Amino acid sequence: MNFIGYYWRHSFINQVKKLFRASILIFIVVCLIFGVVIGLGIGFLGSKLSGDDAETTESVAEDAAPPDSATIHNVIELGAGALILLFIALAVLTADKSGGSAFLGADTVLLFTAPIKPQTVLLFRLLMQTGAVIAGTFYIFFQILSLAFRSVISTGSAFALLGAWIFLLVYHKLFSVLFYTLSMTHPRFKKALRPTLYGTLLLLTGAYLLYAARNGYSSATLFGFFNAPPTRYIPFWGWLKGAALFAMEGKPLASLLSFGALLLLAVALIIMIWGLKADFYEDAAAKTAAREAALETAAGGTPAKRRKDRSESLRRDGFSHGEGATVYWHKTFYNRFRFAPLGFLTKTTVTYFLVSLVASLFLRFGLGQKNFATVALLLGGLVFFRALGNPIAGDVEQPSFFLVPDTARRKVFFSFAAGFCSSALDLLPAFLLGAILCAASPLSAILWLLLILSLDVYADGVGLCIGLALATGLSQTVRSLVQICFIYFGMIPAAGILVWGFATAHLTLSVLLVVLFHLLLGALTLFLSPRIIEKGKK
Amino acid sequence: MLNVTHLTKRYGKTLGCSDLSFDLPRESITVLLGPNGAGKSTLLKSVAGLLRYEGSITIDGKSNRDLAAKRLLGYIPEIPALYPNLTVAEHMEFIARAYRLSDYRARADALLDRFELSDKKKKFGDELSKGMQQKLNLCLGLLPSPSLILMDEPMIGLDPHAIKELKTMMEELRRDGCTLLVSTHIIDSVDMLWDRTLIMQKGNLAADVTRASLADAGETLEDLFFSVTEAEAGQEESV
């Protein structure tokens, strides 16, 4: 295993070296420090105000009294349980892809032919990925330690939370290795995997519905079913919940026992994986070759080949709109109306709509609440994470971008404007549905809409600017991590302003300030990006 | 050294290799010729353990899937692939660790020196030109001193100096007891080197000749290649 540590150490150091080649780094570091300092400062202010001025807070809250600590604890436990289930489900759903898509071209050439067990090679690559994910979520570490620092939770609880998070990521990779190895070696296992997952989820839902039919549909029933004390003894799922939550409840021994059980299970899984007869090189090599070819094609600026042919009924000619930079605007909408059913219903529109529908109905009929803020936050999260995909980069990275006879400023503007309007069109139906189902006040709805759209402007602008400023030699993973970290830290002041507004009964003002803050940062980065392009920084 | 028995490889309904059987002795250079899509890379990848197949492949009497057999094998792919975040020197060290080699530094330096990569030791994998990447892949494949070396179009992308050096090295390797199986399109590039030639056509072994038998027949390798591959194409056209 000597080569694993060697690779990890050297590739990490070299990534950092490459990162330092970008002149933007100084700017990033300054902004990170700025974000951390302001974040901590506002955090202190928020916790101080929420403690000293509880009456003020109450007067602002839309839904009467704030939830008590038991409810908060229950919500945390429910969320933790759902998160763990989501990770397991993802490991199952991506079982046939996770291993195959994990490798680099060099792995197939240098390691697949080396005298190393296939499981070791797979574990090597997945461990590298886990390391990158853990490093990429260091802001979660920061947040947890910040909670301990502000005495919201004890130091022991903070470490338990960190431990649980790392165990979750490691287990996700272990399950991925196990399911992938079994799927590639035993076709019957592969066939049975997804139906087993769906069956288990159906059983769980059925059991809950039965339980709720007897006890009534309320949040208490939900907590009573999923957070029942015996659930913490369910292997892995319950142990992982228990490891963190026992510590938070002041039961360190139970927490340690849960961690011990998790450790033993991890060892057992590793031994089991080692003992399997693995045969996945052909599949993995083919997938890696296809992925590398797609990446090379993308780097060369030509569109990657689709796996499936598009429908013959699609319009295939008639794009004759715009000139110069405006072609980016027309192209986006021409494609939107051409590919989306009814010229409008993109997959994103439908996804947002379904999320809004399910969340609103669950809040209203499952929990008996009409809290529009939850739906708006969910939609905001979806818009934000979609913007992290850096949609403008698709235009900017094409070699033809440089050939279009117009200024870089106009080209970036029209590409951004088209993406922004398209994103707004995706959001609107879901947003209106949520507002109606939750009976949100018009002022509240407008404020939330402004906030989400300004967040999109901010994430688009900052993502593009940082992407352009980073050295081209960096791996895609590191590029994405830096972009995400930068966007995340840049949002800390905005979060601080919102906390301030909430604590001092100036919520409307604070939302408007945040909108202004996002728009200013978005505009600044959109102003800088064309300059970087013209400088040939990329 | 290498024994292939009834090797068949299918990609769905397409046949990559069909019932191939041959033996390669020690201290030999065998050239694998054939038009595009004849199955040369499929054969090499099967021997390298990268593909599932029907039949049997053994290296020095051990199944090619065994770790002991893999220790004897060196594979140089057609398309070079390197880690973008490791330098040239780190790639050599990484392979040495993966193969658990000891006392490899002198050999690593000698290989890098022969392929003119000594001054590129601190370059990252993604900073090398295609030709240099191919040279480094050659160095990496040869570092563990394998007894059976598979080369898939090794001369593509190499400069004349590197091609000359590679040819010299192939002869040295044969002299040292290695078995080489080299796939190529460029017949001229291997004309002086080979002991035996396998010509593949549509997944089948269309010809298997030694240098002596070809000389006895008064043919050149090029004549044989075209007579085998074009005769079959001509037969198809007449049908």
ipTM at complex level: 0.85
CB atoms within 10 A of CB A532: 21
Give the single-character DSSP code of A341.
G
Nearest beta carbon to residue A473 from set B51, B81, B84: B84
The residue of chain A with its CA nearest to that of B150 is A113
By three-state DSSP, how is residue A392 classified? coil
Does the distance separating the beta carbons of B86 and A108 come in below 8 Å? Answer: no
Of residues B50, B80, B94, nearest to A285 (C-beta): B50
Sheet holding B54-59, edge to edge: B14-24, B2-11, B54-59, B62-63
- Give residue A343's region: left, alpha or beta (phi > 0; psi -120 to 50): left
CB contact under 8 A, A11 and B140: no
Q: List the structure tokens of A155.
A: 């130091």
Kindly state the tokens that stand for A103. Answer: 């490798």
Model confidence at A67: pLDDT above 70: no
The mean predicted confidence, pLDDT, of chain B is 88
User: What's the pLDDT tens digit per position in A243-293?
Assistant: 888 888 888 899 999 999 999 998 898 888 877 777 777 877 777 777 767
CA dist., res. A45 & res. A43, Å (int):
5
A3, A14, A113: residue with CB nearest B97: A3
**Better-predicted residue by pLDDT, A148 or A398:** A398
The percentage of residues in chain A with a pLDDT greater than 70, rounded to a whole number, is 76
d(CA A67, CA A78): 15
| pLDDT exceeds cutoff 90 at A45 | no
Q: Does B160 touch chain A (CB under 8 A)?
A: no
Burial of A112 (0-12, 13-18, 19+ CB in 10 A): buried
Q: In angstroms, what separates the C-alpha of B225 from chain A's closest C-alpha? A: 30
Confidence at residue A263, expressed as pLDDT on a 0 to 100 scale: 92
Q: Quote the tokens at residue A12.
A: 């990490």
Instruction: Write the pLDDT tens digit of every residue in B131-143.
Output: 899 999 999 999 9
Beta bridge partners of B201: B204
Two tokens, residue B35: 């038009």
**Residue A13 structure tokens:** 């150091």
What pLDDT score was predicted for residue A188? 84
Q: Which two tokens stand for residue A309?
A: 């042919």
The candidate with the shortest Cα–Cα distance to A112, out of B238, B106, B81, B58, is: B81
Give the span between the Cα atoms of A205 and A27, in whole angstroms: 50
- The mean of the pLDDT values for chain A is 78
Longest C-alpha distance within chain B, in Å? 61
Q: What is the helix (H) or strand (E) element at residue A185, kind and residue range?
A: helix A155-185
Provide, rounded to the nearest whole percent, the portion of chain B with pLDDT above 90: 35
Taking CB atoms and an 8 Å limit, are B83 and A18 in contact across chains?
A: no
Residue that has been written with the tokens 């709720």 in this structure: A212
- Test the A interface: residue of B64, B83, B148, B181 with most A CBs within 10 Å: B83
Rg of the Cα atoms in chain B: 18
Q: Which of A509, A484, A487 has the alpha carbon at shortest distance from A498?
A: A509
- B207: which strand partners? B199
Which residues of chain A does B125 touch, with a Cβ-Cβ cutoff of 8 Å?
106
Residues of B with CB below 8 A from A135's CB? none
Give A108's contacts in chain B (Cβ within 8 Å): 50, 81
- Angle at which helix A252-275 crosses helix A118-136, to 10 degrees, equals 140
Q: Alpha-carbon distance B45 to A285, whole Å?
A: 10
CA angle, residues B10, B11, B13, in degrees to nearest 5: 80
- Give Cα B116 distance to the centre of its chain: 21
Best residue in A18, A110, A116, A185 to probe B by mutation, most B CBs within 10 Å?
Answer: A110
Residues A516 and A533: their CA atoms lie apart, in Å, by: 26
Please give the residue of chain A at the shortest CA–CA distance from B91: A7
Poorest-pLDDT segment among A29-33, A344-348, B106-110: A29-33
Q: Does B12 touch chain A (CB under 8 A)?
A: no
Q: Whole-model pTM?
A: 0.66
Contact call for residues A387 and A467 (beta carbons, < 8 A): no
Tokens in use for A391? 């949609």
Of B49, B77, B94, the CB nearest to A109: B77
B165 CB near a chain A CB, below 8 Å? no
Cβ distance A115 to B99 less than 8 Å, yes or no, reads yes
CA of B52 vs chain A CAs: smallest distance (Å): 7
Region A121-140 average pLDDT: 73
The sign of the torsion formed by the CA atoms of A143, A146, A151, A154 equals positive
CA atoms within 13 A on the CB side of A296: 11
Terminal-to-terminal C-alpha distance of chain B? 41
B80 in contact with chain A, both atoms CB, cutoff 8 A:
yes
- Chain A residues with CB under 8 Å of B85 CB are 10-11, 14-15, 18, 475
* Residue of chain B with shortest Cα separation from A104: B83
DSSP-derived pairing of the beta strands B204-210 and B62-63? unpaired
Distance from CA of A289 to the nearest CA of B (A): 10
Please report which confidence band the pLDDT of residue A64 belongs to, taking 50, 70 and 90 as the band edges. Answer: very low
CB contact, 8 Å: B22 with chain A? no
Tens of pLDDT, residue by residue over A84-119, are 888 888 888 877 666 666 788 888 888 888 898 887
Tell me what pLDDT residue B136 has.
93
Kindly list the residues from chain B whose CB atom is less than 8 angstroms away from the CB atom of residue A112: 48-50
Alpha helices in A393-441 (DSSP H): 393-396, 400-403, 408-437
Counting DSSP H helices and E strands in chain B, the numbers are 9, 10
Three-state DSSP state, A319: coil
Strands B2-11 and B14-24: antiparallel
With residues binned 3-state (H G I as helix, E B as strand, rest as coil), the percentages for chain B, rounded to 5, are: 40, 25, 35
Cα separation of B151 and B40, whole Å?
11
Beta strand pairing status for B54-59 and B2-11?
antiparallel
A359 vs A382: CA distance, rounded Å: 13
CB contact under 8 A, B85 and A18: yes
Q: What is the pLDDT of residue B97?
A: 92
Both tokens of A167, joined, read 């165990």
Check pLDDT > 70 for residue A403.
yes
Q: For residue A111, which residues of chain B lie inside 8 Å, CB to CB?
A: 98
What number is the average pLDDT over the span A10-31? 68
Confidence of residue A12 (pLDDT cuts 50, 70, 90): confident
B16 touches chain A (CB under 8 A): no
Choose, out of B17, B65, B85, B100, the residue to mutate when testing the contact with A (most A CBs < 10 Å). B85
CA atoms of A194 and A191, how far apart (whole Å): 7
The pLDDT score that the predictor gives to residue A63 is: 42
Cα distance from B80 to chain A (closest Cα, Å)? 8
- Nearest-CB residue to B86 (from A2, A14, A292): A14
Burial of residue B35 (CB within 10 Å: 0-12, 13-18, 19+) is middle
pLDDT of residue A177: 79
Any A CB within 8 A of B186 CB: no
